[in-house]
Chain A
Protein backbone atom coordinates (compact mmCIF):
# COMPACT_ATOMS: atom_id res chain seq x y z
CA UNK A 1 0.00 0.00 0.00
CA UNK A 2 1.35 3.42 -0.95
CA UNK A 3 1.59 5.88 1.92
CA UNK A 4 0.22 9.41 1.77
CA UNK A 5 3.84 10.63 1.90
CA UNK A 6 4.62 8.62 -1.25
CA UNK A 7 1.52 10.01 -2.95
CA UNK A 8 2.69 13.52 -2.03
CA UNK A 9 6.14 12.82 -3.52
CA UNK A 10 4.60 11.56 -6.81
CA UNK A 11 2.18 14.49 -6.93
CA UNK A 12 5.09 16.89 -6.50
CA UNK A 13 6.97 15.20 -9.39
CA UNK A 14 3.81 15.34 -11.51
CA UNK A 15 3.14 18.99 -10.56
CA UNK A 16 -0.33 18.23 -9.21
CA UNK A 17 -1.84 20.01 -6.22
CA UNK A 18 -4.03 17.45 -4.41
CA UNK A 19 -6.52 17.84 -1.58
CA UNK A 20 -6.19 15.66 1.54
CA UNK A 21 -9.16 13.60 0.32
CA UNK A 22 -7.51 13.04 -3.04
CA UNK A 23 -4.25 11.95 -1.40
CA UNK A 24 -6.03 9.29 0.67
CA UNK A 25 -8.10 8.11 -2.31
CA UNK A 26 -5.13 7.93 -4.68
CA UNK A 27 -3.04 6.04 -2.11
CA UNK A 28 -5.75 3.36 -2.12
CA UNK A 29 -6.54 3.36 -5.87
CA UNK A 30 -2.96 3.53 -7.12
CA UNK A 31 -2.07 0.66 -4.80
CA UNK A 32 -4.89 -1.44 -6.28
CA UNK A 33 -3.64 -0.85 -9.84
CA UNK A 34 -0.01 -1.50 -8.86
CA UNK A 35 -1.06 -4.74 -7.13
CA UNK A 36 -2.78 -5.74 -10.36
CA UNK A 37 0.41 -4.91 -12.28
CA UNK A 38 2.44 -7.04 -9.84
CA UNK A 39 1.59 -10.12 -11.94
CA UNK A 40 4.09 -8.78 -14.48
CA UNK A 41 6.87 -9.24 -11.91
CA UNK A 42 6.21 -12.99 -11.85
CA UNK A 43 6.91 -13.47 -15.56
CA UNK A 44 10.21 -14.58 -17.01
CA UNK A 45 11.16 -11.88 -19.50
CA UNK A 46 14.86 -12.77 -19.68
CA UNK A 47 16.17 -11.98 -23.16
CA UNK A 48 12.88 -10.43 -24.38
CA UNK A 49 13.48 -7.04 -26.03
CA UNK A 50 11.17 -4.19 -24.93
CA UNK A 51 8.69 -2.79 -27.48
CA UNK A 52 8.77 1.01 -27.42
CA UNK A 53 7.09 1.28 -30.83
CA UNK A 54 5.39 -1.38 -32.95
CA UNK A 55 6.90 0.20 -36.06
CA UNK A 56 10.50 -0.27 -37.08
CA UNK A 57 11.13 3.44 -36.56
CA UNK A 58 14.54 4.72 -37.47
CA UNK A 59 16.01 8.18 -37.74
CA UNK A 60 15.96 9.77 -41.17
CA UNK A 61 17.34 13.00 -42.56
CA UNK A 62 14.83 15.64 -43.59
CA UNK A 63 14.37 15.40 -47.35
CA UNK A 64 15.28 18.94 -48.35
CA UNK A 65 15.14 21.96 -46.11
CA UNK A 66 12.52 24.29 -47.49
CA UNK A 67 11.51 27.59 -45.97
CA UNK A 68 7.81 27.45 -45.09
CA UNK A 69 5.59 29.81 -43.17
CA UNK A 70 5.55 29.22 -39.42
CA UNK A 71 2.73 29.81 -36.98
CA UNK A 72 1.92 33.53 -36.94
CA UNK A 73 2.63 35.14 -33.56
CA UNK A 74 -1.00 36.15 -33.05
CA UNK A 75 -2.08 32.55 -33.57
CA UNK A 76 0.52 31.29 -31.12
CA UNK A 77 -0.74 33.72 -28.50
CA UNK A 78 -4.48 33.41 -29.12
CA UNK A 79 -5.08 30.82 -26.37
CA UNK A 80 -2.61 32.12 -23.81
CA UNK A 81 -3.98 32.96 -20.33
CA UNK A 82 -1.82 36.11 -20.21
CA UNK A 83 0.18 37.96 -22.88
CA UNK A 84 1.56 41.43 -23.45
CA UNK A 85 0.61 41.21 -27.11
CA UNK A 86 4.02 39.93 -28.14
CA UNK A 87 4.98 37.30 -25.54
CA UNK A 88 3.52 34.90 -22.98
CA UNK A 89 3.49 36.56 -19.57
CA UNK A 90 4.53 34.31 -16.66
CA UNK A 91 5.76 34.73 -13.11
CA UNK A 92 9.49 35.14 -12.50
CA UNK A 93 11.37 31.85 -12.57
CA UNK A 94 14.23 33.07 -10.34
CA UNK A 95 14.40 35.42 -7.37
CA UNK A 96 15.68 38.87 -8.18
CA UNK A 97 18.85 38.84 -6.08
Chain B
Protein backbone atom coordinates (compact mmCIF):
# COMPACT_ATOMS: atom_id res chain seq x y z
CA UNK B 1 0.00 0.00 0.00
CA UNK B 2 1.57 3.24 -1.10
CA UNK B 3 0.16 6.47 0.30
CA UNK B 4 0.75 9.89 -1.22
CA UNK B 5 3.00 10.92 1.64
CA UNK B 6 4.99 7.65 1.54
CA UNK B 7 5.38 7.91 -2.25
CA UNK B 8 6.59 11.48 -1.91
CA UNK B 9 9.09 10.43 0.76
CA UNK B 10 10.51 7.67 -1.45
CA UNK B 11 10.75 10.06 -4.40
CA UNK B 12 12.41 12.70 -2.25
CA UNK B 13 15.02 10.18 -1.07
CA UNK B 14 15.61 9.10 -4.68
CA UNK B 15 14.74 5.51 -3.81
CA UNK B 16 12.53 5.50 -6.86
CA UNK B 17 11.92 7.86 -9.77
CA UNK B 18 8.52 9.15 -10.83
CA UNK B 19 8.87 7.22 -14.09
CA UNK B 20 9.63 3.95 -12.26
CA UNK B 21 6.74 4.48 -9.87
CA UNK B 22 4.37 5.32 -12.72
CA UNK B 23 5.47 2.25 -14.70
CA UNK B 24 4.83 0.02 -11.68
CA UNK B 25 1.31 1.41 -11.26
CA UNK B 26 0.55 1.10 -14.98
CA UNK B 27 1.66 -2.55 -14.94
CA UNK B 28 -0.55 -3.27 -11.97
CA UNK B 29 -3.49 -1.50 -13.61
CA UNK B 30 -3.08 -3.52 -16.80
CA UNK B 31 -2.97 -6.72 -14.74
CA UNK B 32 -5.97 -6.05 -12.48
CA UNK B 33 -8.23 -3.62 -14.32
CA UNK B 34 -9.69 -6.14 -16.78
CA UNK B 35 -11.36 -7.74 -13.75
CA UNK B 36 -12.10 -4.70 -11.59
CA UNK B 37 -13.06 -2.22 -14.34
CA UNK B 38 -12.01 0.67 -12.10
CA UNK B 39 -10.35 2.62 -14.94
CA UNK B 40 -12.25 3.67 -18.06
CA UNK B 41 -9.13 5.23 -19.59
CA UNK B 42 -5.56 4.24 -18.79
CA UNK B 43 -3.37 7.10 -19.97
CA UNK B 44 -0.03 5.28 -20.34
CA UNK B 45 1.71 7.81 -22.56
CA UNK B 46 0.40 10.94 -20.88
CA UNK B 47 1.25 9.51 -17.45
CA UNK B 48 4.81 8.66 -18.45
CA UNK B 49 5.28 12.12 -19.97
CA UNK B 50 4.05 13.71 -16.76
CA UNK B 51 6.35 11.43 -14.74
CA UNK B 52 9.37 12.41 -16.85
CA UNK B 53 8.55 16.06 -16.30
CA UNK B 54 8.21 15.47 -12.56
CA UNK B 55 11.62 13.79 -12.50
CA UNK B 56 13.09 16.81 -14.30
CA UNK B 57 11.48 19.17 -11.80
CA UNK B 58 12.89 17.14 -8.91
CA UNK B 59 16.34 17.16 -10.55
CA UNK B 60 16.08 20.97 -10.53
CA UNK B 61 15.46 20.83 -6.77
CA UNK B 62 11.72 21.38 -6.83
CA UNK B 63 9.55 19.88 -4.13
CA UNK B 64 5.76 19.84 -3.71
CA UNK B 65 3.58 17.42 -1.71
CA UNK B 66 2.44 15.79 -4.98
CA UNK B 67 5.46 16.05 -7.28
CA UNK B 68 5.74 12.74 -9.16
CA UNK B 69 2.90 11.08 -7.24
CA UNK B 70 0.62 8.89 -9.42
CA UNK B 71 -3.07 9.67 -8.92
CA UNK B 72 -6.24 9.05 -10.92
CA UNK B 73 -9.36 11.07 -11.61
CA UNK B 74 -13.07 10.29 -11.58
CA UNK B 75 -14.38 10.55 -15.12
CA UNK B 76 -16.81 13.40 -14.37
CA UNK B 77 -13.89 15.83 -13.98
CA UNK B 78 -12.59 17.44 -17.15
CA UNK B 79 -9.01 16.59 -18.06
CA UNK B 80 -7.26 18.49 -20.85
CA UNK B 81 -6.73 16.27 -23.91
CA UNK B 82 -7.76 13.18 -21.91
CA UNK B 83 -11.10 11.53 -22.72
CA UNK B 84 -13.83 12.38 -20.19
CA UNK B 85 -17.03 10.33 -20.45
CA UNK B 86 -18.96 10.96 -17.20
CA UNK B 87 -19.71 7.23 -17.44
CA UNK B 88 -22.15 8.01 -20.26
CA UNK B 89 -22.59 6.82 -23.81
CA UNK B 90 -23.54 10.39 -24.73
CA UNK B 91 -19.95 11.52 -23.97
CA UNK B 92 -18.16 8.32 -25.01
CA UNK B 93 -15.82 10.22 -27.34
CA UNK B 94 -15.58 13.56 -25.56
CA UNK B 95 -12.13 15.12 -25.02
CA UNK B 96 -12.06 18.39 -23.08
CA UNK B 97 -9.78 21.25 -24.05
CA UNK B 98 -9.35 22.33 -20.42
CA UNK B 99 -8.78 20.94 -16.96
CA UNK B 100 -11.20 21.21 -14.08
CA UNK B 101 -9.69 23.57 -11.50
CA UNK B 102 -9.17 20.72 -9.01
CA UNK B 103 -7.30 18.87 -11.75
CA UNK B 104 -5.19 21.83 -12.92
CA UNK B 105 -4.09 22.50 -9.33
CA UNK B 106 -2.83 18.91 -9.02
CA UNK B 107 -1.18 19.21 -12.43
CA UNK B 108 0.61 22.40 -11.36
CA UNK B 109 1.96 20.59 -8.30
CA UNK B 110 3.41 17.88 -10.53
CA UNK B 111 1.04 14.98 -9.80
CA UNK B 112 1.02 12.23 -12.44
CA UNK B 113 -2.38 11.31 -13.94
CA UNK B 114 -2.66 7.55 -14.51
CA UNK B 115 -6.10 7.80 -16.09
CA UNK B 116 -9.83 8.24 -15.60
CA UNK B 117 -11.99 6.26 -13.20
CA UNK B 118 -15.35 4.58 -13.67
CA UNK B 119 -18.47 6.00 -12.03
CA UNK B 120 -22.23 5.93 -12.25
CA UNK B 121 -23.41 7.88 -15.29
CA UNK B 122 -23.20 11.61 -14.49
CA UNK B 123 -22.46 10.54 -10.88
CA UNK B 124 -26.06 9.37 -10.42
CA UNK B 125 -26.04 6.17 -8.43
CA UNK B 126 -24.80 4.29 -5.39
CA UNK B 127 -23.19 1.20 -6.93
CA UNK B 128 -21.36 2.21 -10.16
CA UNK B 129 -23.77 -0.14 -11.95
CA UNK B 130 -25.21 2.87 -13.82
CA UNK B 131 -21.98 3.32 -15.78
CA UNK B 132 -22.52 2.88 -19.52
CA UNK B 133 -19.17 1.05 -19.53
CA UNK B 134 -20.07 -1.74 -17.10
CA UNK B 135 -19.86 -1.84 -13.31
CA UNK B 136 -16.68 -1.65 -11.26
CA UNK B 137 -16.15 -4.64 -8.98
CA UNK B 138 -15.35 -4.41 -5.30
CA UNK B 139 -11.72 -5.52 -4.67
CA UNK B 140 -12.80 -7.15 -1.39
CA UNK B 141 -15.32 -9.38 -3.20
CA UNK B 142 -15.60 -9.19 -6.96
CA UNK B 143 -19.24 -10.33 -6.91
CA UNK B 144 -20.17 -7.15 -5.02
CA UNK B 145 -20.52 -3.48 -5.88
CA UNK B 146 -17.87 -0.94 -4.84
CA UNK B 147 -20.56 1.60 -3.95
CA UNK B 148 -21.02 4.75 -5.93
CA UNK B 149 -21.00 6.96 -7.63
CA UNK B 150 -17.18 7.25 -7.17
CA UNK B 151 -16.91 3.43 -7.23
CA UNK B 152 -13.97 3.36 -9.65
CA UNK B 153 -12.10 5.82 -7.41
CA UNK B 154 -12.74 3.76 -4.27
CA UNK B 155 -11.83 0.46 -5.94
CA UNK B 156 -8.65 1.91 -7.47
CA UNK B 157 -7.47 3.21 -4.09
CA UNK B 158 -8.40 -0.05 -2.31
CA UNK B 159 -6.61 -2.19 -4.93
CA UNK B 160 -3.51 0.04 -4.99
CA UNK B 161 -4.08 1.07 -8.60
CA UNK B 162 -3.09 4.66 -7.69
CA UNK B 163 -1.84 6.55 -4.63
CA UNK B 164 -5.03 8.59 -4.36
CA UNK B 165 -8.06 9.36 -6.51
CA UNK B 166 -10.30 12.32 -7.12
CA UNK B 167 -14.01 11.79 -6.63
CA UNK B 168 -17.14 13.86 -6.31
CA UNK B 169 -19.87 13.77 -3.67
CA UNK B 170 -23.36 15.15 -4.29
CA UNK B 171 -25.30 12.94 -1.87
CA UNK B 172 -22.69 10.48 -0.60
CA UNK B 173 -20.72 9.58 -3.72
CA UNK B 174 -17.30 9.81 -2.02
CA UNK B 175 -18.20 8.60 1.49
CA UNK B 176 -20.38 5.60 0.62
CA UNK B 177 -17.94 3.94 -1.86
CA UNK B 178 -15.05 4.75 0.52
CA UNK B 179 -16.93 2.83 3.23
CA UNK B 180 -17.80 -0.10 0.95
CA UNK B 181 -14.19 -0.40 -0.27
CA UNK B 182 -12.44 0.25 3.06
CA UNK B 183 -10.67 3.50 2.14
CA UNK B 184 -10.72 7.07 3.44
CA UNK B 185 -13.02 9.53 1.66
CA UNK B 186 -13.52 13.19 2.56
CA UNK B 187 -16.57 15.10 1.33
CA UNK B 188 -15.59 18.75 1.60
CA UNK B 189 -17.91 21.53 2.61
CA UNK B 190 -19.78 23.03 -0.34
CA UNK B 191 -17.62 25.77 -1.89
CA UNK B 192 -14.27 24.71 -0.43
CA UNK B 193 -13.06 23.21 -3.73
CA UNK B 194 -13.97 24.78 -7.08
CA UNK B 195 -16.55 22.97 -9.22
CA UNK B 196 -15.20 24.49 -12.43
CA UNK B 197 -14.72 21.75 -15.02
CA UNK B 198 -16.83 19.24 -13.10
CA UNK B 199 -19.57 17.95 -15.39
CA UNK B 200 -22.50 19.27 -13.40
CA UNK B 201 -25.10 17.03 -11.76
CA UNK B 202 -26.77 19.11 -8.99
CA UNK B 203 -25.04 22.44 -8.73
CA UNK B 204 -26.16 23.38 -5.19
CA UNK B 205 -24.88 20.03 -3.87
CA UNK B 206 -21.89 18.97 -6.02
CA UNK B 207 -18.50 18.86 -4.29
CA UNK B 208 -15.07 17.68 -5.46
CA UNK B 209 -12.81 15.73 -3.12
CA UNK B 210 -10.40 12.84 -2.79
CA UNK B 211 -10.44 9.17 -1.85
CA UNK B 212 -7.21 8.22 -0.13
CA UNK B 213 -5.47 5.56 1.94
CA UNK B 214 -5.40 7.61 5.12
CA UNK B 215 -6.46 10.90 6.68
CA UNK B 216 -3.05 12.51 6.18
CA UNK B 217 -3.38 12.01 2.42
CA UNK B 218 -6.92 13.40 2.58
CA UNK B 219 -5.47 16.55 4.15
CA UNK B 220 -2.68 16.76 1.56
CA UNK B 221 -5.14 16.39 -1.34
CA UNK B 222 -7.56 18.96 0.06
CA UNK B 223 -4.71 21.41 0.69
CA UNK B 224 -3.71 21.03 -2.97
CA UNK B 225 -7.20 21.66 -4.39
CA UNK B 226 -8.94 24.09 -2.04
CA UNK B 227 -9.56 27.81 -2.29
CA UNK B 228 -11.29 30.49 -4.28
CA UNK B 229 -11.33 30.15 -8.05
CA UNK B 230 -12.47 33.01 -10.26
CA UNK B 231 -14.16 30.45 -12.55
CA UNK B 232 -16.58 29.29 -9.82
CA UNK B 233 -18.53 32.05 -8.12
CA UNK B 234 -19.54 29.66 -5.30
CA UNK B 235 -15.94 28.79 -4.37
CA UNK B 236 -14.62 30.41 -1.22
CA UNK B 237 -11.35 31.07 0.57
CA UNK B 238 -11.17 29.74 4.11
CA UNK B 239 -8.07 29.23 6.32
CA UNK B 240 -6.18 26.47 4.50
CA UNK B 241 -5.70 22.96 5.85
CA UNK B 242 -2.63 22.64 8.07
CA UNK B 243 -1.32 19.14 7.30
CA UNK B 244 1.43 19.25 9.94
CA UNK B 245 -1.09 20.10 12.65
CA UNK B 246 -2.61 16.61 12.27
CA UNK B 247 0.28 15.10 14.22
CA UNK B 248 0.09 17.66 17.00
CA UNK B 249 -3.51 16.66 17.63
CA UNK B 250 -3.09 12.91 17.38
CA UNK B 251 -2.26 11.78 20.91
CA UNK B 252 -5.35 12.80 22.74
CA UNK B 253 -8.91 13.72 22.07
CA UNK B 254 -9.40 15.21 25.55
CA UNK B 255 -12.07 17.86 25.54
CA UNK B 256 -13.48 16.79 22.16
CA UNK B 257 -17.28 16.55 22.29
CA UNK B 258 -18.60 13.81 20.01
CA UNK B 259 -22.33 13.60 19.26
CA UNK B 260 -23.97 10.34 18.26
CA UNK B 261 -27.29 10.93 16.47
CA UNK B 262 -29.95 8.42 17.56
CA UNK B 263 -31.63 8.60 14.14
CA UNK B 264 -28.54 7.13 12.45
CA UNK B 265 -29.02 3.74 14.09
CA UNK B 266 -32.22 2.62 12.40
CA UNK B 267 -34.00 -0.72 12.42
CA UNK B 268 -33.10 -1.70 8.87
CA UNK B 269 -29.39 -1.57 9.57
CA UNK B 270 -27.03 -4.52 9.25
CA UNK B 271 -26.27 -5.51 12.89
CA UNK B 272 -22.51 -5.84 12.48
CA UNK B 273 -22.32 -2.39 10.83
CA UNK B 274 -23.94 -0.91 13.94
CA UNK B 275 -21.58 -2.94 16.17
CA UNK B 276 -18.40 -1.79 14.39
CA UNK B 277 -19.53 1.84 14.41
CA UNK B 278 -20.41 1.69 18.13
CA UNK B 279 -17.01 0.09 18.85
CA UNK B 280 -15.30 2.89 16.92
CA UNK B 281 -17.19 5.50 18.95
CA UNK B 282 -16.17 3.70 22.16
CA UNK B 283 -12.59 3.88 20.90
CA UNK B 284 -12.86 7.66 20.49
CA UNK B 285 -14.06 7.69 24.10
CA UNK B 286 -11.02 5.74 25.33
CA UNK B 287 -8.88 8.36 23.57
CA UNK B 288 -10.43 11.00 25.79
CA UNK B 289 -13.43 12.23 23.80
CA UNK B 290 -16.70 12.97 25.60
CA UNK B 291 -19.47 11.10 23.83
CA UNK B 292 -23.12 12.07 24.09
CA UNK B 293 -26.33 11.17 22.31
CA UNK B 294 -27.84 13.87 20.11
CA UNK B 295 -30.88 14.10 17.85
CA UNK B 296 -31.08 15.11 14.18
CA UNK B 297 -34.86 14.76 13.95
CA UNK B 298 -35.20 15.44 10.21
CA UNK B 299 -32.76 12.71 9.15
CA UNK B 300 -35.51 10.64 7.49
CA UNK B 301 -36.48 13.64 5.34
CA UNK B 302 -33.06 13.78 3.68
CA UNK B 303 -34.00 11.19 1.10
CA UNK B 304 -37.29 12.72 -0.14
CA UNK B 305 -35.77 16.23 -0.14
CA UNK B 306 -32.69 15.08 -2.03
CA UNK B 307 -34.70 13.17 -4.63
CA UNK B 308 -36.63 16.31 -5.49
CA UNK B 309 -33.81 18.89 -5.41
CA UNK B 310 -31.02 16.88 -7.06
CA UNK B 311 -33.12 15.64 -10.02
CA UNK B 312 -34.57 19.15 -10.49
CA UNK B 313 -31.09 20.64 -10.78
CA UNK B 314 -29.95 17.70 -12.92
CA UNK B 315 -32.82 18.14 -15.37
CA UNK B 316 -31.65 21.71 -15.97
CA UNK B 317 -27.91 20.88 -16.08
CA UNK B 318 -28.32 17.98 -18.49
CA UNK B 319 -30.34 20.06 -20.94
CA UNK B 320 -26.98 20.95 -22.54
CA UNK B 321 -26.62 17.46 -24.02
CA UNK B 322 -28.49 18.07 -27.24
CA UNK B 323 -26.21 16.58 -29.89
CA UNK B 324 -25.10 19.97 -31.23
CA UNK B 325 -21.85 21.12 -29.64
CA UNK B 326 -20.40 17.86 -28.34
CA UNK B 327 -21.25 14.25 -27.74
CA UNK B 328 -23.53 11.81 -29.46
CA UNK B 329 -25.98 12.94 -32.16
CA UNK B 330 -28.82 10.78 -33.42
CA UNK B 331 -30.38 12.56 -36.38
CA UNK B 332 -34.19 12.84 -36.35
CA UNK B 333 -36.64 14.23 -38.92
CA UNK B 334 -36.32 17.75 -37.47
CA UNK B 335 -34.26 19.51 -34.79
CA UNK B 336 -36.65 18.67 -31.92
CA UNK B 337 -36.67 15.02 -32.99
CA UNK B 338 -32.86 15.09 -33.10
CA UNK B 339 -32.75 16.37 -29.52
CA UNK B 340 -35.20 13.70 -28.39
CA UNK B 341 -33.59 10.80 -30.24
CA UNK B 342 -30.09 11.85 -29.15
CA UNK B 343 -31.04 12.08 -25.50
CA UNK B 344 -33.22 8.97 -25.61
CA UNK B 345 -30.36 6.93 -27.04
CA UNK B 346 -27.49 8.61 -25.18
CA UNK B 347 -28.70 8.58 -21.57
CA UNK B 348 -29.04 5.46 -19.43
CA UNK B 349 -32.08 4.41 -17.40
CA UNK B 350 -31.23 6.13 -14.11
CA UNK B 351 -30.26 9.42 -15.77
CA UNK B 352 -33.52 9.46 -17.73
CA UNK B 353 -35.44 8.62 -14.55
CA UNK B 354 -33.89 11.58 -12.73
CA UNK B 355 -34.34 13.99 -15.64
CA UNK B 356 -38.02 12.99 -15.77
CA UNK B 357 -38.42 13.35 -12.02
CA UNK B 358 -36.74 16.76 -12.01
CA UNK B 359 -38.71 17.97 -15.01
CA UNK B 360 -41.92 16.93 -13.26
CA UNK B 361 -40.96 18.65 -9.99
CA UNK B 362 -40.17 21.89 -11.84
CA UNK B 363 -43.18 21.83 -14.18
CA UNK B 364 -46.12 24.20 -13.92
CA UNK B 365 -48.44 23.28 -11.07
CA UNK B 366 -45.90 21.16 -9.20
CA UNK B 367 -43.04 23.63 -8.64
CA UNK B 368 -44.33 24.95 -5.28
CA UNK B 369 -45.63 21.61 -4.03
CA UNK B 370 -42.39 19.73 -4.69
CA UNK B 371 -39.39 21.93 -5.41
CA UNK B 372 -39.99 24.94 -3.13
CA UNK B 373 -41.31 22.70 -0.36
CA UNK B 374 -38.20 20.50 -0.61
CA UNK B 375 -35.99 23.59 -0.37
CA UNK B 376 -37.85 24.64 2.80
CA UNK B 377 -37.35 21.24 4.39
CA UNK B 378 -33.70 21.51 3.34
CA UNK B 379 -33.53 24.56 5.60
CA UNK B 380 -34.87 22.47 8.49
CA UNK B 381 -32.26 19.76 7.88
CA UNK B 382 -29.52 22.40 7.86
CA UNK B 383 -30.86 23.81 11.16
CA UNK B 384 -30.75 20.33 12.75
CA UNK B 385 -27.00 20.30 12.19
CA UNK B 386 -26.53 23.90 13.34
CA UNK B 387 -28.30 23.08 16.60
CA UNK B 388 -26.23 19.90 17.03
CA UNK B 389 -22.95 21.76 16.48
CA UNK B 390 -23.91 24.21 19.24
CA UNK B 391 -23.54 21.23 21.62
CA UNK B 392 -20.81 19.06 20.07
CA UNK B 393 -17.62 19.48 18.00
CA UNK B 394 -18.09 16.50 15.77
CA UNK B 395 -20.78 13.94 14.93
CA UNK B 396 -19.96 10.22 14.65
CA UNK B 397 -22.29 7.94 12.69
CA UNK B 398 -22.39 5.09 10.19
CA UNK B 399 -21.80 5.90 6.51
CA UNK B 400 -24.21 3.38 4.99
CA UNK B 401 -26.70 0.94 6.56
CA UNK B 402 -24.98 -2.08 5.00
CA UNK B 403 -21.63 -3.27 3.71
CA UNK B 404 -21.07 -3.88 -0.02
CA UNK B 405 -24.10 -5.58 -1.59
CA UNK B 406 -24.07 -8.09 -4.47
CA UNK B 407 -24.04 -6.77 -8.05
CA UNK B 408 -27.59 -6.58 -9.36
CA UNK B 409 -29.21 -6.75 -5.91
CA UNK B 410 -30.85 -3.31 -6.07
CA UNK B 411 -30.88 -2.37 -9.74
CA UNK B 412 -34.63 -3.02 -10.20
CA UNK B 413 -35.77 -0.98 -7.20
CA UNK B 414 -34.67 2.68 -7.29
CA UNK B 415 -35.82 3.43 -3.73
CA UNK B 416 -33.87 0.49 -2.25
CA UNK B 417 -30.80 1.80 -4.08
CA UNK B 418 -31.44 5.37 -2.86
CA UNK B 419 -31.63 4.11 0.75
CA UNK B 420 -27.91 3.16 0.58
CA UNK B 421 -27.28 6.92 0.93
CA UNK B 422 -29.75 7.64 3.72
CA UNK B 423 -26.95 8.55 6.18
CA UNK B 424 -24.93 10.67 3.75
CA UNK B 425 -27.69 12.75 2.09
CA UNK B 426 -28.39 15.11 5.03
CA UNK B 427 -24.73 16.23 5.22
CA UNK B 428 -24.82 17.06 1.50
CA UNK B 429 -28.07 19.00 1.82
CA UNK B 430 -26.60 21.00 4.71
CA UNK B 431 -23.40 21.70 2.71
CA UNK B 432 -21.18 20.61 5.60
CA UNK B 433 -18.24 18.17 5.63
CA UNK B 434 -17.91 14.49 6.47
CA UNK B 435 -15.25 11.83 6.19
CA UNK B 436 -15.59 8.09 5.87
CA UNK B 437 -12.82 6.07 7.50
CA UNK B 438 -12.48 2.29 7.82
CA UNK B 439 -13.56 1.03 11.28
CA UNK B 440 -13.65 -2.74 10.93
CA UNK B 441 -15.22 -5.59 8.98
CA UNK B 442 -18.49 -7.49 8.95
CA UNK B 443 -18.72 -11.26 9.44
CA UNK B 444 -17.96 -11.81 5.76
CA UNK B 445 -14.82 -9.72 5.90
CA UNK B 446 -16.30 -6.70 4.10
CA UNK B 447 -15.22 -3.24 5.27
CA UNK B 448 -17.38 -0.97 7.43
CA UNK B 449 -17.05 2.82 7.43
CA UNK B 450 -17.29 5.34 10.25
CA UNK B 451 -18.59 8.78 9.27
CA UNK B 452 -17.18 11.78 11.14
CA UNK B 453 -19.21 14.90 10.38
CA UNK B 454 -18.10 18.48 10.99
CA UNK B 455 -19.72 21.88 10.52
CA UNK B 456 -19.25 23.94 7.34
CA UNK B 457 -15.50 24.39 6.70
CA UNK B 458 -14.69 22.24 9.76
CA UNK B 459 -12.40 19.92 7.76
CA UNK B 460 -9.32 20.59 9.91
CA UNK B 461 -10.97 19.18 13.05
CA UNK B 462 -12.56 16.28 11.15
CA UNK B 463 -9.18 15.34 9.66
CA UNK B 464 -7.44 15.62 13.03
CA UNK B 465 -9.92 13.23 14.66
CA UNK B 466 -9.75 10.83 11.69
CA UNK B 467 -5.95 10.92 11.85
CA UNK B 468 -5.93 10.32 15.62
CA UNK B 469 -8.24 7.33 15.09
CA UNK B 470 -5.94 5.93 12.42
CA UNK B 471 -2.84 6.40 14.58
CA UNK B 472 -4.35 4.05 17.15
CA UNK B 473 -6.11 1.54 14.86
CA UNK B 474 -5.02 -0.44 11.81
CA UNK B 475 -8.29 -0.89 9.86
CA UNK B 476 -7.09 1.53 7.18
CA UNK B 477 -3.95 -0.58 6.66
CA UNK B 478 -5.86 -3.77 5.80
CA UNK B 479 -5.86 -4.69 2.14
CA UNK B 480 -8.13 -6.87 0.04
CA UNK B 481 -6.64 -10.16 -1.12
CA UNK B 482 -6.73 -9.99 -4.88
CA UNK B 483 -6.32 -13.38 -6.47
CA UNK B 484 -3.88 -12.16 -9.10
CA UNK B 485 -1.51 -10.19 -6.90
CA UNK B 486 1.70 -9.11 -8.58
Contact = CB atoms under 8 A, between A and B. Distances in A.
Nearest to B372: A50
A80 B356 contact: no
A54 B415 contact: no
B304 A90 contact: no
Contacts of A91: 331, 334-335, 338
Contacts of B415: 32-33, 36
Interface in B266-305: 301, 303-305
A10 B363 contact: yes
Contacts of B191: 54-55
Nearest to A62: B230
B305 to A, nearest CB: 7
Interface string A38-63: 01110101001111111101001000
A45 B340 contact: no
Interface residues of B, number: 67
B315 interface: yes
A54 B359 contact: no
B6 to A, nearest CB: 36
Nearest to B373: A40
B356 A88 contact: no
Contact of A16 (B303, B324, B356): B356
A10 B359 CA distance: 7
A14 B379 contact: no
Contacts of B363: 10, 13
Interface in A52-97: 52-55, 57, 60, 71-72, 75-76, 78-82, 88, 90-93
B387 interface: no
A29 B354 CA distance: 11
B469 interface: no
B375 A51 contact: yes
A24 interface: no
A1 interface: no
B315 to A, nearest CB: 6
A59 to B, nearest CB: 9
Contacts of B370: 37, 40
B377 A29 contact: no
A84 to B, nearest CB: 14
Contact of B456 (A54, A75, A76): A54
B356 A55 contact: no
A82 B335 CA distance: 14
A41 to B, nearest CB: 7
A47 to B, nearest CB: 9
B379 A17 contact: no
B236 interface: yes
Contacts of A10: 356, 359-360, 363
A8 B97 CA distance: 37
Contacts of A32: 414-415
Interface string B328-370: 1101001111111101110101001101110110010000011
B95 A79 contact: yes
Nearest to B414: A29
A10 B353 CA distance: 11
Contacts of A79: 93-95, 325-327
A20 to B, nearest CB: 12
Nearest to A12: B340
Contacts of B345: 17
B428 to A, nearest CB: 10
A17 B335 contact: no
B308 A40 contact: yes
B355 A16 contact: yes
Given A33-B415, A53-B204, A90-B324, 5 more contacts: A16-B343, A43-B301, A48-B377, A76-B97, A81-B323
Interface of A: 7, 10-18, 22, 26, 29-30, 32-34, 36-37, 39-41, 43, 45, 48-55, 57, 60, 71-72, 75-76, 78-82, 88, 90-93
